[in-house]
Amino acid sequence: MPTQALARQRNDATFPTIWDELTWRGLVHVSTDRDALAEALAAGPVTAYCGFDPTAPSLHLGHLTQLLVLRRLQLAGHHPIGLVGGSTGLIGDPRPSAERTLNSPETVAVWVERLRDQVGRFLDFEGAAPARMVNNLDWTAGLSAIDFLRDIGKHYRVGTMLKKDAVAARLNSEAGISYTEFSYQILQGYDFLQLYRQHGCTLQTGGSDQWGNLTSGIDLIHRVEGAAVHAIGTPLITNSDGRKFSKSEGTAVWLDPESTTPYAFFQFWLNTADADVVERLKVFTFLSRDEIGALEQSVRDRPGAREAQRRLAWEVTALVHGDEAADAARDASAALFGSGDLAALPPAMLEAALAELPSAPGEPGTPVAALLVATGLTTSAGESRRAIAQGGVYVDNERIVDAEAVLGPMLHGRFAVLRRGKRTLAAVVRTH
């Protein structure tokens, strides 16, 4: 996380406890005994962890929820541990429908380092409650199959493992489930046991769809150590049709700027539906409940202004990519829709913004009417001429009034932005 974002983060002092704030923000979908957990957090400090498996080269939106839970706990004086799964990443937790494709140890090792860097940017490793980074390969690499079965496997009951939602879903599917993925919950439980032993960790967080894996460690620690520990399952962040944003669903919003550009990231949040924006502000920003309440009122009174969406987009983009990138993405978004100077945008930001649009090749001298057809803004030359005659066509935010107009000098010598009406955009890109 950029340092300026860390510096301005605060929990809301109007909440009597961190548990009250977490529940108000909707971050507790399911948990172990709520009263006991609230009491433990109030007594504090508690050591809490979340695991991040390197099954891709970047973290995504679902992981951001967990990172912010850890950060909120840290701001309340608790000690966060970010675990990168160098061993569990070689397997991957069971997907709902089919076996995962196993990645090579070399690939996973590279991804471990990338995820360590990403996780590390969202936590503070100094101060009164410093964070810690761990890799579960450190305690599993030397574990033999016999030791695994004797010392860990003996504490698990197959009947209980079969009842876990992820396992049950796969057992009832055509693909079935391999022993490899079936055993994942044992490894995750072993992680919690090791962190309990080594660091006194008594709280694990994760998505609510991981609840079976979260409780695996709780049960193991109770059996082996006779101790009671806790878990929090956060709600899944879903789109309008109820699917979660995730790699397995093909809808991931990545935290790495090479995978999801800061502009595309900003636009994702800017496009949040009115019905979802207040929930997103609670989960993904450090705005106070008074600030969020004012934005909620704006949604009710002035929905067309989209003040809440614009604030959400800037806050989360700054959180992940920094203030400068958030400012640039905001300016690019405004410029594309006619409220700013396109020529003033940095070439890289303009290129990233245009990459999200329908596009066609072109160069100075190409008829605008033909480019409208090529980019899909119109379906024929006749429709293009009518659209121009009606005053609804713009090139680089300048209205075109001549149906025979041709493309002039291009932005940065390479780009042009076509707009039909207020919000329908396309890009023209010079290829030579």
In total, how many domains does the chain have? Answer: 2
How far is residue 82's CA from residue 49's CA, in Å, rounded to a whole number?
Answer: 6
Tens digits of residue pLDDT in 378-399: 999 999 999 999 999 999 999 9
Choose the final residue of a domain: 234, 258, 290. Answer: 234
Is there a domain that residue 273 lies in? no
Does a structural domain hold residue 423? Answer: yes
H-run or E-run covering 298: helix 289-301
Q: What is the pLDDT of residue 77?
A: 97
Give me the pLDDT at residue 242, please: 66
Chunked in runs of 10, what are the mean pLDDT values of the chain (432 residues)? Answer: 78 96 97 96 95 94 96 97 93 75 91 95 93 96 90 88 81 82 89 97 95 93 96 86 57 90 94 94 97 98 95 97 94 87 89 91 95 96 94 94 94 95 93 80
CA–CA distance, 346 with 339 (Å, rounded to integer): 16
CATH number (domain holding residue 387):
3.10.290.10
Q: pLDDT tens, 357-366?
A: 999 999 999 9
Decide if 362 is inside a domain. Answer: yes
Indicate whether 197 belongs to any domain: yes
Indicate which CATH number applies to the domain containing 221: 3.40.50.620
In the structure encoding, which two tokens stand for residue 154, read together? Answer: 């003996």
Domain assignment of residue 63, given as a range:
3-234
- Residue that finishes a domain, picked among 206, 234, 262: 234
| Measured distance CA(349)–CA(291) in Å, rounded | 30
Closest to 51 measured CA to CA, from 37, 34, 70, 38: 70
Asked which of 218, 234, 250 is the last residue of a domain, the reply is: 234
Give residue 175's pLDDT: 76
Max intra-chain CA distance, the chain = 82
